Structure 1
Amino acid sequence: MQVCRKLTLITGSVGTCNALKVQLEEYIPTCVTIQAYPLDGISKPPSDFGDVVLFSSSLVKRELEEDWNCMIPKGVQIIIADRTINYEFIDRIVLLSPKTKVLFVSDAKESAEEGIRALKEVGIDHLDLYPYYPGLSNCEKSKITKDTDIAITPGEKDKVLDHIRKVYDIGPRLLDFPTIFKLLRAVGQLETRARHFSIKYIQKIIILAKKLSHSTNYISELNHHLTTVIDGIEDGLVVFDSRGIISVHNEKFRKMLDIPALNLRGVKISELIYNKKLVEFLMNHRLDDELTLDINSDKVLVSKFKLTDNDHIVARFLSHKNSVEYKEKENIKQGHFAKYTFENIVGESSLMNQTKNIAKKLAKTELTILLHGESGTGKELFASAIHNSSPMGDAPFLAVNFSSLSDDLIESELFGYEPGAFTGASKKGKLGLFEQAEGGTIFLDEIGDSSLKVQAKLLRVLQEKEVMRIGDTKIRPVNVRIIAATNQDLKMLMKQGQFRKDLYYRLKMGYMKIPPLRQRKEDISELFNQLIDTETTEKITVDKEVILALQNYDWPGNVRELRNLVSYMLALRDCNHLTIDDVPSWGYFEEGPKIEEQEEINLKDALSDSELFILQCIYDLKEENKTAGRKILSELSKQSSIYLTEGKIRTILDRLEKKGYILKSKGSGSVLTKKGKKVIDGNQG
């Protein structure tokens, strides 16, 4: 005969209460009345506890007795639950990597520690688990949360820290097997429900096993796919930890290094590779280095980087065979690359912007380009930028200067030679620059200095797209774009018979005139500051007077001369602020000052009395550390024979600044320039 009983479940939280009630209804027959009370969700304890009271933990029992001042009546059987993790979610954490640092987050210290014990009891002992709960001190929090971004919680997601990137919510811990056994006995249902309970329990274990099997099969399949992917990569790859122990590698790595073993997982790098130089490179802490090795008649470039989420290193072995990237890196290593882009060309004057726009348009074409400009205007800068903006920007960029090499040397450099082609020739012969620049650009600087013999060969390259090495009879096709540059008048050279007309017109298909600095003086300020930034990392400020003085010079050496001046001024400066006194005397410059600058001492003759008066006042006020504003200048004029209103003074100051005698500044008044000081010195003399 069935015994009808009433069972009361008391838990701490609503979530735990709901989960345990569902579990009880699964095992306890309907003849037993189940009432459930979460202490967090009721205002007063129940009036009738029934025949059996089940507490979710001893902590909940103590809270009911002490905080609620409620004692369970005599005659009511009390059972304190032992709980374990929910097996339905165990597959979420069982596949985490061994020694992974994980927080177990719960609502109290006791429940967090019990949760960790429960995980270990069912075999989840491969993780480094740390209890986390409200009430931890800041010191304890800092200690256990350092380098931790994974958490497990039994339904307490609201208590997980914000920085945790991965949260495994395994749901509230459920009643374990012995607790349910006790309950069935307490309500008189053990004999009738024991078999049902056993079947249910075994079913859950089987379902869990299937889930784990599915997860394992999925990961195995995924690993198979990933292995297929990395084995298909042309580069050799190997992943190892700080101790040098390999965790991942691909087939290409194994074959490149002639390693017979198929499975290298768990093997140390030093036990596998016998090249001392390579082992030292792989195991050092520098990640920005690269190493080139000769391995089995193959040049291999080795680089490495660190995985961001752990201490593992990925090493990449890049073969030169069929590798565009290797060739690009080799181009850089050998200097066969264009250093500059249009962003490196400083200047926003209308003339410079127009020049850059023409260059950008020509870059997109396949036209041969002739750059014409004075020495120091930046012809190689433009050639480099044009190459980088062209469709062949990733290919080699080679430059040769005709003014720095002899005729014979130019010919051998450009076209190459066969072994023994001439006395002193290399026994291996030499590849010419045209062949080395295949698919890219060759920059012929100072083309006006080339001989007629070399010009004839250059014309053949332009017309036929082919070269012949010195001492060879074989014609070799080349695909190279030519950018030539000169500071000479090629038309005049043609008239003198020193430059071929047919070559000139071939080169001039894309013509560009690079403007001299004197035609774009508004760019001097930006250029000056940019050149300072390339010379020093210190913060250097520059007086406006300095720029005005530099703009008053014609710069026959162009930007190159300006760069030399910057280096000179920075070397001799006394502080990080450049003034007109830091500008060297005119003897430093390639050309002397203009006529009007040579006569500066006599310029007072060209100034009105009012202008001379204002200059003298500004000088005197500066000596007294006073600001030369319009108001004080007007007051001083009242004390002399010249009376000037503030409006009149404004007009005079504008005129003096335009002539270069003063500089006006808001807040600090007007100051004399070097030119203005010379006028005063002349007056005082």
Structure 2
Amino acid sequence: MGKKRLALITMDDLTNELLFNQLTSLFGDSVSIERCTTEDNVCKYIDAPVALVSSVSLKVDVENKFRFGDKTKVIMSRRSIGKQGLKNLLEIPMGSRGILFIGHKDVSRDTVQLIKQLGITHFELQPEQPAQSDFDADLIITAGKANQLKDVNLPVVDIGILRLDITTIVEVLSALYLLDSKASLVSARYEREVIELCQEVSHALGQATIFSKELEVAINTNRDGMVMMDEAGRIVVSNQAAEELFKLPRERMVGRLFTRENGFPWNWEDLHTVDNSILRLHDYKLVVNASPVETPLGKIGTMLTFRDVTEIQRLEEMVRRDLAAKGHVARFTFQDIIGESTELKSVVKVAQRIAKTEATILIYGESGVGKELFAQAIHSASLRRNGPFVAVNFSALSESLMESELFGYDEGAFTGAKKGGKPGLFEMAHGGTIFLDEIGDASPALQTRLLRVLQEKQVMRVGATKIIPVDVRVIAATNKDLPGLIKKGTFRQDLYYRLNVLPLNIPPLRERRGDVLFLMQHFFVKRGHQLNVIPSALQLLDRYDWPGNTRELQNVVEYLYCTSSADEIIGEQNLPRHFLSLSKTNTLGSKNSGDLFKQLSENAPMEDYTLLLKTIKDSIAQGKSAGRRSLFRSIPGMTEARLRVRLKELQDVGLVVLMSGRRGTRITERGLALLDSMS
């Protein structure tokens, strides 16, 4: 069997010689290689079974200068950079500007693309231009053509002629039907080379990539002016703050020497060793620092930081004024919590104890019970009393506005964003307390961000990548059933446990009726009046359930103050209209038990009412809910519709109070008295 035949087509003799040697070391004398170059000026006919072209970039040249037999398979090779070539590329200083010279613009362009695909991007690299002789760059990179660059007055980095990669070798062997016989040789040789290359280059390349990314993040997110220079004083990278500070566009900074001749206020030599030096520039007073920039390959340059002292002072003053203007201070203490009931005093005692801790507090209470009053009192009694108290209500703003209010935003984060950005409420509460009111209304997306803040003690502004540490004590409040919301999937369980470290339950006004008249007297005295109310009106006020709690009571006081004279005795007719309807209902209270039995028995058998009252009483005594569904399950033979009617009738005569939500039904003192009279 004769030798296999292969035609090798390259751009020049030097490349042809290297690839010929590479192929010969694999094929030995089993393949006859016909060598051709595109530099030949004659058209040549090739009838070998396989023709290998050294680069796809030579396709047009090959089609113009060669003709192939009908059975010739043309393979466009893929090339790789050797181990030493990669090392040479990695040692090029960061931020350098290079031009790749090979002698063929298309081959040069494809090689630049190959280098970038390898992840080597720490310097700028452009392909050569046709007939280029003047190179505007810091250095020239070439692939085996260093002898043609002897007259160029620039550093030359030779990465060597690119070799055929393993995929091309396998494709050639397959086309020549030699893959089975040469597979083990090819595998052993290239596996060994790849392993050695990975071991030596991977670490350096990975470290350089990590460093490059970290540097880019640090530069682009820092508000101070920052300029990095190489060892020669040439600017490698700068951020927008520096460009604004020196009033120079980026193209007039990067790649240029930091000198007065190039528009900078100082020479590089004057700054490369400064440490917290104060310099003046225009209207700015700057603190300047120079720090070495290190990589695994050693020192590659210096980072200059320019911090505007005037701006820092101005921002601090503005923040202080803004905090005062927005009322980010606690106005109330525990002395402002008014009441004499045992229930309220017990809650105040617990609140005073937990105020001394740093743990997160979750305040439960209906609307109007004074949750923010308690939050401010806790802050005023805490070790953070001299810090800000910042309150935010989650039911007051949309999700998008709430996010920017809580976490702040960077300049340009969205249309209408303030120049320079805006600090969020968490930042404003630094060193103090943030009060998250109506936390149950927070959207799922906000809950996720809040959880991260509570876990990490860090915030990130909208549109920013910089992490800002915050030192805040969190007090949250809600009038919703958070465990119920967790079951519905609308509130995060992990956030609930982060908030519910120290729970504090504020009882509604109807559960501490002893405070009703005490509070009314207090509010009247604050206005300079005495509370003069006839007994029947007092009875109505005392029996009213106050669904709006203390806030509603204040409204009633305001109504009475505005509609009555200072010495007028307040009667039932002076109360707001909804108390008058309560008065009509309570006229039944003057009736004895017999009258009440007669009143109810006109609607249904008395057994229905007594059984219902006894079931409600027993459920409450056992700590169970006395809701409508629970009662329906506990009373056989009574339909839900009938149950609903009977409960309404009992409420109309003041024997029960129908509560909203999971709180169920409460039996009143009159209801208990009625049951006692029947026993």
Instruction: Report the TM range for the smaller structure's normalisation.
Output: 0.3 to 0.5
TM-score (norm 2): 0.40
TM (norm. structure 1) is 0.39
